[in-house]
């Protein structure tokens, strides 16, 4: 049983061997590690030891490493390999890793590496598809059977073909023109009589997608129908590739991160480990948008400068009225974004969602109005503090509920990602509305506030 | 090929048949649907039609429905079944669905249903484990082989045993005391010679977890080692169950939602469709915490009431200084929380992360200081506006970077979820710090501001 402690200890042994130039020993321990742990160890090493580590790997092991390395690190590694070595390594990786790596190369390099690859014919068609589509996710590594084969023939074929672990569970049944007829899995093969024909065992009309299907929709199909693989077919129903379970697990984490990151105004590629300059470039745009939005809020406050000078305690309630509604609005946004992502929530639910969130906002507003408005009244002593603070609270909380539904729904209707910086947008609006309500009513009732 | 349009059309046909009391036709269309689509259709129906829908289902189909229904809806359905029907249905569902349903019943009902189930012996031990642990996730439905069997014997055994689709890919090799010796998959079985012994084909010492392992750690193992199933063993290495791929897909979505929800102060079970009263109860605690935190911010502002009365324009910059840092802090929090969840980020990275985020905060602060401080100076005309607004911006942005790293790391060190309401906490702190810096410096330099 592999545990994390074991791995750390082995990692230290490899580091020691590499530092001591004990190549043989390092190679031995590295060989005993799971490729995932090898990749992890590599990522932790200092640059000079990475060099040494890499030099003890076989081409086979380099290919395995490619499968498990973080994309940023993989980019650095491939940039340092000769084009010929890279071609040999990519010949041994899974199709989708090869495609991902080739995509990151400058066009001229890509052509050179590709022409040196023996799997070039398999890979080139995959390069045409958008990265986040079914076509960009799929691999050509699948096993194809003929409908007229018997189960025994299929098993013999498998023994000759020796498929990789990744491609082996589902077998695709194609007609003479490579059109997808059905799918059969190893379990069904083993459980059937040897002379049964494949077409009598296979499941007909399996769920399939076309190459342009968005990866998020593919993920939804995997989850909804509990698939283990998803075939990709073109308009003629010709099988172009399959999406495997590993790829979709990555998509699952990626899409969740994308949502959560976009709500707060970050790109999905960002991480704590990104270089400082990259992080700054990535995070600044949304923070500048935020600043622009905050400037509107500030401008509203500026309009009421005289009122604030006369009743400075209004400034005390500004952050409370704005902040409560902002938090509440972000809660609604988050529910909407994740509901839309899982497919549970659709456009037809707009009215239901709006009613629900506006009512929730109203009820919360009433409650906070009593608490905060009451506190304002008790502190300042003049009656008008109660309604000024309380009504601003009620109005802004209700507004936040409506906005939290409308922003993601509108973005979705415009075929944009419903998450994009919606957290920043909603808090900016609730700031503006909060200040407007509080200071506006304060201005109307200024004579009653003192 | 199933498409969403198809499903919607079929759904309408079922609805029509049910409304017209055409039971036969409804049953026919329902039978042609994928169980996932059946569950979806059921969830969309009005209550009276749900009754009619349910009455045309076979016990087999009811069990399938249980597998795919949303947890809230499933609770309503099971509450309305007789205990005997429920027992018969749960005998036909997968172990983990049966366990989940039994858990939701009152203890006396649970005992009654369990005693009426023919699979009671298989299920009872599973009920002991915590819901979000490996023990709570695992199923007993796996195929066990003996190490001395030949490949041919194993295949014959499989034909007699006729395993379900879920349990069939990995076969577990156990010794006489049911201790896990290794694992072999169907592909390896098919590719091996008939007279090879299983112990010569199997992978020894497979990755396994104990029943108390947290489900998030199980998810990390699936992702890291690209597993399709994960065996659960006790201290004696006795196989207790396996976690399948379907279960872990659910965990994947759940854990991502939990993180994103907790950052904004929502429980992971919340959805737009939760009843109003439940939503209010769930969302209020954190909003009250938010209010409490905002009250601190307000109190800080209250201390500086005199300063604001003298230089009301300070109130204009309050939301900018606080808001920019709040957004920036939430960005850092989000990166930290997801980094910790994926396992990429560990405690040993604390110093690196802190340095990175503090520097990023400082650089962003300097930039915004120039923009906002410059605007303040240009607008108000007195020199002191530049440094007062600018320095508050720099200080608060740097503070936000540090806080964004420290809060999740501290929660993790206290063995709490690093996401818990961290968004609310960080914005509250940046509010307080922002007001303190801006109004504090404003007070010191008040004579220079006018």
Tell me which chain B residue has its CA closest to the CA of residue A295: B320
Reduce the DSSP state of residue A66 to 3 states and report it. Answer: helix
Chain A within 8 Å of B34 (Cβ-Cβ)? Answer: yes
How far, in Å, CA of B439 to CA of B201, rounded? 73
Q: Are A119 and A98 in contact (CB under 8 A)?
A: yes
Q: What is the pLDDT of residue A227?
A: 85
DSSP H or E stretch at residue A144: strand A143-145
Superfamily name and number for B143-245:
CBS-domain (3.10.580.10)
Is the Cβ of A295 closer than 8 Å to some Cβ of chain B? yes
Q: Work out the average pLDDT over A66-83.
A: 88
| CATH homologous superfamily of B276-449 | SLC41 divalent cation transporters, integral membrane domain (1.10.357.20)
Does B190 contact A191 at a Cβ distance shorter than 8 Å? Answer: no
pLDDT of residue A378: 93
> How much is the average pLDDT of B290-303?
89
Interface of B with A in 349-388 (CB under 8 A): 349, 352-353, 356-357, 359-360, 363-364, 367-368, 371-372
Give the three-state DSSP class for A145. Answer: strand
CATH architecture of A143-244: Roll (3.10)
In chain B, the residue whose alpha carbon lies closest to the alpha carbon of A427 is B323
A23 CB near a chain B CB, below 8 Å?
Answer: no
**A22 CA to centre of own chain:** 41
* Nearest residue on chain A to B325, alpha-carbon basis: A287
CB A319 to CB B318 under 8 A? yes
Whether A317 sits inside 8 A of B298 (CB atoms) is: yes
- The residue of A226, A232, A262, A342 whose CB has the most chain B CBs within 10 angstroms, and thus the best one to mutate to test that interface, is A226
Q: Each residue of A408-442: pLDDT tens digit?
A: 999 888 888 887 778 888 888 999 999 999 999 99
Residue A182 has pLDDT above 70, yes or no: yes
The pLDDT of B33-62, averaged and rounded, is 87
Instruction: Specify the CATH number for B4-128; select among 1.10.1040.10, 1.10.10.10, 1.25.60.10, 3.40.50.300.
Output: 1.25.60.10
Above 90 in pLDDT, residue B95? Answer: no
Q: pLDDT (tens digit, 9 = 90+) per residue, B187-231?
A: 888 888 889 999 999 998 899 999 999 988 898 898 888 888 899
> The pTM is what?
0.76
Which of A32-41, A364-373, A391-400, B166-175 has the weakest average pLDDT?
A: B166-175
Specify the higher pLDDT residue, B369 or A43: B369
Question: Which residue of B323, B345, B402, B438 is the best one to mutate when testing the A interface, meaning the one whose CB has the most A CBs within 10 A?
Answer: B323
- Where do the structural domains in chain B lie, given as residue ranges? 4-128, 143-245, 276-449
DSSP H stretches of helix in B343-421:
350-368, 374-380, 385-413
pLDDT higher than 70, residue B1: no
Average the pLDDT over each of A317-321, B77-81, B192-196, B344-348 and give the range with the smallest value: B344-348
| Count of Cβ atoms closer than 10 Å to residue B120 Cβ | 16
Q: How far is A435 from chain B (nearest CA, A)?
A: 10
pLDDT at B248: 84
B273 touches chain A (CB under 8 A): yes
Residue A1: per-residue pLDDT = 43
Residue B126 near residue B140 (C-beta atoms within 8 A):
yes
- Is pLDDT above 60 for A3? no
pLDDT tens for A199-246 read 999 988 899 999 999 988 898 898 888 888 899 999 999 999 999 887
B327 touches chain A (CB under 8 A): yes
Q: Label residue B54 by pLDDT band (50, 70, 90).
A: confident
Tell me which residue in A263, A316, A359 faces B302 most closely, judged by beta carbons: A316
- State yes or no: pLDDT of A164 exceeds 80: no
Please name the residues in contact with A365: beta carbons below 8 A apart, sequence gap of 6 or more: A393, A394, A395, A396, A397, A398
pLDDT above 80 (res B309): yes
Average pLDDT over residues A37-53: 85
The residue that leads in pLDDT, A167 or B113, is B113
For B314-323, write each residue's pLDDT tens digit.
999 999 999 8
In tens, the pLDDT along B366-387 reads: 999 999 999 999 999 999 999 9
Per-residue pLDDT band at A166 (split at 50, 70, 90): low
Q: In a mutagenesis test of the A interface, which of B64, B331, B366, B425 is the best target, namely the one with the most A β-carbons within 10 Å?
A: B331
What's phi and psi for A203, nearest 5 deg? -85, 125
- The whole-number average pLDDT for the span B329-358 is 87
- Say if residue A96 is exposed, middle or buried (CB neighbours under 10 Å; 0-12, 13-18, 19+): buried
Query: What number of other Cβ atoms are within 10 A of residue A121's Cβ?
Result: 10
For residue B2, is pLDDT > 50? no
**Topology match between the domains B143-245 and B276-449:** no
Asked whether the predicted pLDDT for residue A397 surpasses 60, the reply is yes
Range with lowest mean pLDDT among A60-64, A307-311, A377-381, B425-429: B425-429
In this complex, do B249 and A226 lie within 8 Å of one another by their Cβ atoms?
yes
Chain mean pLDDT for chain B? 88
A4-127: in CATH 1.10.443.10? no
More confident residue, A423 or A176: A176
Predicted confidence at residue A47, as pLDDT, reads 79
């Amino acid at each position: 049983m592999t545990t994390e402690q074991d791995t750390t200890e082995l990692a230290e042994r490899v580091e020691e061997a590499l530092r001591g130039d004990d190549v043989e020993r390092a190679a031995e321990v590295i060989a005993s590690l799971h490729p995932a742990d090898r990749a992890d160890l590599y990522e932790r090493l200092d640059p000079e030891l990475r060099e040494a580590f890499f030099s003890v790997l076989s081409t086979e092991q380099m290919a395995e490493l490619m499968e498990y390395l973080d994309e940023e690190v993989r980019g650095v590694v491939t940039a340092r390999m000769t084009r010929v070595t890279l071609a040999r390594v990519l010949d041994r990786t899974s199709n989708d890793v090869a495609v991902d790596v080739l995509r990151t190369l400058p066009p001229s390099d890509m052509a050179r590496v590709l022409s040196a690859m023996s799997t070039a014919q398999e890979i080139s068609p995959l390069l045409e598809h958008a990265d986040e589509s079914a076509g960009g996710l799929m691999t050509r590594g699948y096993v194809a059977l003929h409908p007229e084969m018997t189960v025994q023939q299929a098993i013999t074929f498998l023994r000759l073909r020796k498929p990789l672990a990744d491609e082996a569970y589902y077998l695709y049944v194609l007609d003479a023109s490579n059109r997808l007829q059905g799918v059969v899995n190893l379990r069904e093969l083993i459980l059937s009589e040897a002379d049964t024909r494949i077409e009598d065992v296979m499941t007909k009309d399996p769920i399939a997608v076309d190459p342009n299907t968005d990866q998020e929709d593919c993920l939804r199909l995997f989850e909804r129908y509990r698939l283990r693989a998803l075939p990709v077919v073109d308009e003629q129903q010709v099988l172009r590739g399959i999406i495997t379970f590993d790829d979709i697990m990555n998509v699952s984490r990626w899409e969740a991160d994308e949502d959560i990151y976009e709500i707060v105004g970050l790109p999905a590629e960002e991480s704590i480990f990104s270089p400082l300059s990259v992080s700054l470039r990535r995070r600044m745009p949304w923070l500048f948008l935020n600043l622009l939005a905050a400037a509107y809020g500030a401008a509203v406050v500026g309009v009421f400068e005289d009122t604030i000078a006369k009743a400075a305690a209004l400034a005390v309630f500004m952050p409370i009225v704005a902040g409560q509604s902002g938090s509440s609005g972000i809660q609604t946004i988050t529910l909407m974004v994740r509901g839309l992502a899982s497919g549970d929530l659709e456009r037809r639910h707009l009215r239901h969602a709006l009613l629900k969130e506006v009512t929730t906002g109203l009820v919360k507003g009433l409650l906070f109005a009593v608490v905060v408005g009451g506190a304002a009244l008790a502190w300042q002593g003049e009656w008008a503090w109660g309604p000024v603070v309380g009504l601003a609270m009620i109005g802004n909380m209700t507004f936040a509920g409506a906005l939290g539904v409308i922003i993601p729904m509108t973005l979705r209707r415009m075929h944009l990602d419903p998450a994009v910086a919606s957290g920043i947008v909603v808090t900016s609006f609730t700031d503006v509305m909060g200040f407007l309500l509080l200071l506006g009513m304060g201005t109307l009732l200024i004579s009653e506030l003192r």
